[in-house]
Amino acid sequence: MSTPGSASVADLGERRIIADIRAKLLPAPAWLPIGIGDDAAVVEPERGALEVLTTDSLVEGVHFDRRFSTAFDIGWKALAVNLSDIAAMGGRPRVALLSLGLPPALAAGDLDALVDGFLALAREHRVVLAGGNITRSPAPLIVDVTVSGAVRPRRVLTRAGARPGDEIYVTGSIGAGLAGLRFLEQSSGREPADAEIAACVAQYRRPQPRSRIGALLGSNRAASACMDLSDGLADALRQIADASGVGIAVDGEALPIAPGARRWFESAGMDPVQEALAGGDDYELLLAVPRRRRGRLTTVSRQSRGIPLTRVGQATAEIGVRVVRNGTAEPLPAGFVHF
Amino acid sequence: MSTPGSASVADLGERRIIADIRAKLLPAPAWLPIGIGDDAAVVEPERGALEVLTTDSLVEGVHFDRRFSTAFDIGWKALAVNLSDIAAMGGRPRVALLSLGLPPALAAGDLDALVDGFLALAREHRVVLAGGNITRSPAPLIVDVTVSGAVRPRRVLTRAGARPGDEIYVTGSIGAGLAGLRFLEQSSGREPADAEIAACVAQYRRPQPRSRIGALLGSNRAASACMDLSDGLADALRQIADASGVGIAVDGEALPIAPGARRWFESAGMDPVQEALAGGDDYELLLAVPRRRRGRLTTVSRQSRGIPLTRVGQATAEIGVRVVRNGTAEPLPAGFVHF
């Protein structure tokens, strides 16, 4: 953007903002006959596929703090949380809509960086920005994103398919999002010197949604149920158990807690297992895998470029989610609460 | 909702809010295999159709004032502005996502009424609520809606198809949205005694998007270009002229100004034509119709249940939008400014 650094979005005006965003876009694919600039976008559905449609927003003061995250981080994360939802359904993302509520005093350079962060992740995941909306917001910065993707019929991963005996897996590692946020809250904006804690902060700011592994799980039907961890592992365990009508026995010692998170929680006198279960802001996937499909899961693991898949428990006929550690049952913490 | 009147949304919590909304829904159609309650909705695209996708939000203090609009009105209008965009593309709406940013102190009854307003309009237009998102907002109430619809290939109405000689039409009447808002601002919440001004206030609060006429215009190819008037007639004229590479000569005396609006602007010492051109909050359609398709427009008019279609001008080879009244050229006011 060729705007002087001191300009605000109110100085730019809506037309200029939209023109600046359009100038950043790659040429539209043939299946997007109408993108930004008309009353609505027009998308050619993928032949033979179902559409997966989700929306999620980040609100300043609730989901992010501009002392902890740059504008680039915020744009990135606003898309990431939606891509995570598409991945959790076994879909592949195709187009995104970006709806912005901008405080008039927001620096033009910050808006520019926010859009850059959004588009950087969009390019990594081959998602096309197809439209959106820009409005004034009296106070908080609001970033509301909609993502549409494609999934094959009978390849949709819901929360409801787990059966007793299915093994429960988690992708990647957990606890990093929460540990990263807690570090930032207590460090008054200082960046971490420790590399493992820095990794937690980075994951809090710019989570990597599991698009590839989600699409692989959908297409090879390894999983019987799937959900993302945006509201924490404890919440996801409960949701899958409830929707599937099963219980889940969780092995508290098996949780793949990020090393920096484990260390940070311990140094703060907190229990890493309970914290990682409560969590939130981990954009990993929780999945149920029937034993007879374990081979398919191995294939997914091999094709997913080294993303760990850790077995953390098992679905049971007995209802309820139970965490067992050192042979003792533990309470399951509540998930992230939006209110 | 069976909540005591004094409860706030913070008392209800997210789960309860979602459960209450789900309880209000009609059974999902077969083409919506997964609606509210999973990571994302799954929609079966309409066979042979393209998808039309739009998002638009209402922010408290910017797009509405809770002294002037009830919660029911706000929910209604948040969907209406999106349906208007789908209509302007010649599409038929199918599903909506509702993303809410709720101040914790918002009364549970207000949220209930907001959802009722949204669903009342959704039912009228056969739109299915398929998902969304609920989050806390530190201050303003935010209602962000996404609507997906269907349109046949080669039936899409863009802003770019007008050619010199095409006649320019407007549906319904204009100026009512702005006059209704201005009345409310100056009346300190008193309701209008005058029936025609009451009609303007009603149109401001609960606009009727032109879904039927938009879909008809798309399917019979009467129009060469189309756009809605959400940012005012002057803005729409400029946008269609710019996108189509034509000029437009507007007959200032022909504008279908709502009787209440005309009277209200005159009594306030303002020029009704200039006010109706600047406008905003009129959810009518502006369309260009090639002369040889005038017969098709008559068919649309007949099938659209008495919604007036008024010829307000003509596309010209000479670039620029010109308003002529009593033989004299007038300046074109700016459209609604979002910043």
Residue among B59, B142, B339 minimizing CB distance to A13: B339
Q: What is the pLDDT of residue A331?
A: 81
Residue among B33, B42, B139 minimizing CB distance to A138: B139
Q: Assess whether B208 and B315 both reside in one domain.
A: yes
Q: Assess whether B115 and B202 both reside in one domain.
A: no
Tokens of A73: 């981080």
User: Is residue A30, in this structure, part of any structural domain at all?
Assistant: yes
User: Is residue B339, in this structure, part of any structural domain at all?
Assistant: no
Handedness of CA A72, A77, A79, A80 (dihedral sign): positive
Tokens of B234: 């002057």
Residue among A53, A62, A135 minimizing CB distance to B131: A53
In the three-class reduction of DSSP (H, G, I as helix; E, B as strand; rest coil), residue B251 is classed as strand
Q: Assess whether A208 and A287 both reside in one domain.
A: yes
pLDDT tens digits, B199-212: 999 999 999 999 99
Q: Assess whether A48 and A73 both reside in one domain.
A: yes
Split at pLDDT 50, 70, 90, the class of B244 is very high
- Give chain B's length: 339
Chain B residues closer than 8 Å to A137 by CB: 59, 62, 140, 142
Verify whether the Cβ–Cβ distance A42 to B142 is below 8 Å: no
Split at pLDDT 50, 70, 90, the class of B336 is low
- Cβ within 8 Å of A, B 292-321: none
Q: By the 8 A CB rule, do A169 and A304 touch?
A: no
Q: Assess whether B241 and B192 both reside in one domain.
A: yes
The strand pairing partners of B324, in sequence order, are: B251, B329
User: Is residue A307, in this structure, part of any structural domain at all?
Assistant: yes
Question: Which amino acid appears at position A105 of this protein?
Answer: A
pLDDT in tens, chain A (339 residues): 445 568 999 999 888 999 999 999 999 999 999 999 999 999 999 999 999 999 999 999 999 999 999 999 999 999 999 999 999 999 999 999 999 999 999 999 999 999 999 999 999 999 999 999 999 999 899 999 999 999 999 999 999 999 999 999 999 999 999 999 999 999 987 899 999 999 999 999 999 999 999 999 999 999 999 999 999 999 999 999 999 999 999 999 999 999 999 999 999 999 999 999 998 899 999 999 999 999 999 999 999 988 999 999 999 999 999 999 999 998 888 766 655
What is the pairing mode between strands A225-228 and A167-171? unpaired
Chain B residues closer than 8 Å to A89 by CB: 34, 38-40, 42
Q: Best of A53, A83, A285 to disrupt the B interface by mutation (most B CBs within 10 Å)?
A: A53
User: Is residue A335, in this structure, part of any structural domain at all?
Assistant: no
ipTM of the complex: 0.94
Verify whether the Cβ–Cβ distance B135 to A57 is below 8 Å: yes
Query: CA separation (Å) from A16 to A36, A112, B178, B239, B300?
Result: 13, 12, 25, 14, 37
> CA B68 to CA B187: how far, in whole Å?
10
If you search the block for the tokens 């300190």, which residue do you land on?
B188
Q: Assess whether A325 and A184 both reside in one domain.
A: yes
- Cβ within 8 Å of A, B 206-235: 226-228
Nearest CA in chain A to B101: A59
Q: Where does a domain end: A151, A186, A216? A: A151
Number of domains chain B is built from: 2
Chain B residues closer than 8 Å to A228 by CB: 39
Q: Assess whether A32 and A117 both reside in one domain.
A: yes
> What's the whole-number average pLDDT of chain B?
94
pLDDT tens digits, B137-186: 998 999 999 999 999 999 999 999 999 999 999 999 999 999 999 999 99
Q: What is the pLDDT of residue B333?
A: 83
Q: Where does a domain end: A125, A151, A177? A: A151
Q: What is the pLDDT of residue B306?
A: 85
Phi, psi of A130 (to 5 degrees): -110, -10
Q: Assess whether B136 and B196 both reside in one domain.
A: no
Phi, psi of B183 (to 5 degrees): -60, -50
User: Is residue B2, in this structure, part of any structural domain at all?
Assistant: no
> CA B16 to CA A337: how far, in whole Å?
12
Q: Assess whether B292 and B268 both reside in one domain.
A: yes
B86 contacts: CB under 8 Å, gap ≥ 6: A39, A40, B52, B54, B92, B93, B147, B149, B209, B211, B214
Verify whether the Cβ–Cβ distance A44 to B50 is below 8 Å: yes
Residue B287: CATH number of its domain: 3.90.650.10
Split at pLDDT 50, 70, 90, the class of B189 is confident
Angle between helices B195-205 and B259-267 (to 10 degrees): 110
Residue B310 reports pLDDT greater than 50:
yes
- Which pairs from A3-8 meet CB under 8 Å and 24+ separation? A3/A108, A3/A109, A3/A112, A5/A107, A5/A108, A5/A109, A6/A107, A7/A107, A7/A108, A7/A109, A8/A104, A8/A105, A8/A106, A8/A107, A8/A108
B9–chain A Cβ distance below 8 A for any pair: yes
Q: What is the pLDDT of residue B339?
A: 59
Query: CA separation (Å) from A11 to A16, A70, A73, A137, B228?
Result: 9, 21, 23, 15, 26
Q: What is the pLDDT of residue A1?
A: 43
Q: What is the pLDDT of residue B334?
A: 78
Q: Assess whether B14 and B67 both reside in one domain.
A: yes
User: Is residue A38, in this structure, part of any structural domain at all?
Assistant: yes
User: Is residue B337, in this structure, part of any structural domain at all?
Assistant: no
Residue B60: CATH number of its domain: 3.30.1330.10
Domain ranges, residue A133: 9-151
Q: By the 8 A CB rule, do B290 and B143 touch?
A: no
Nearest CA in chain A to B244: A38
* Residue A336 C-alpha, separation from nearest chain B C-alpha, in angstroms: 11
- Cβ within 8 Å of B, A 269-288: none
If you search the block for the tokens 């809010």, which residue do you land on?
B17
Q: By the 8 A CB rule, do B140 and A138 touch?
A: yes
Nearest Cα to Cα of residue B82 among A29, A32, A131, A59: A131
- Cβ within 8 Å of A, B 112-151: 130-140, 142, 144, 146, 148-149, 151
Verify whether the Cβ–Cβ distance A104 to B339 is below 8 Å: yes
Chain A residues closer than 8 Å to B133 by CB: 55-57
Query: CA separation (Å) from B327 to A106, B63, B251?
Result: 45, 37, 9
Nearest Cα to Cα of residue A207 among A282, A145, A280, A148: A282
Q: By the 8 A CB rule, do A121 and A211 touch?
A: no
pLDDT tens digits, B5-42: 689 999 998 889 999 999 999 999 999 999 999 999 99
Q: Where does a domain end: A127, A151, A175? A: A151
Q: What is the pLDDT of residue A337?
A: 60
Q: Assess whether B133 and B250 both reside in one domain.
A: no
User: Is residue B133, in this structure, part of any structural domain at all?
Assistant: yes
> CA A54 to CA B55: how far, in whole Å?
12
Verify whether the Cβ–Cβ distance A54 to B131 is below 8 Å: yes
Q: Best of B9, B17, B39 to disrupt the A interface by mutation (most A CBs within 10 Å)?
A: B39
Q: Assess whether B135 and B229 both reside in one domain.
A: no
Q: By the 8 A CB rule, do B101 and B136 touch?
A: yes
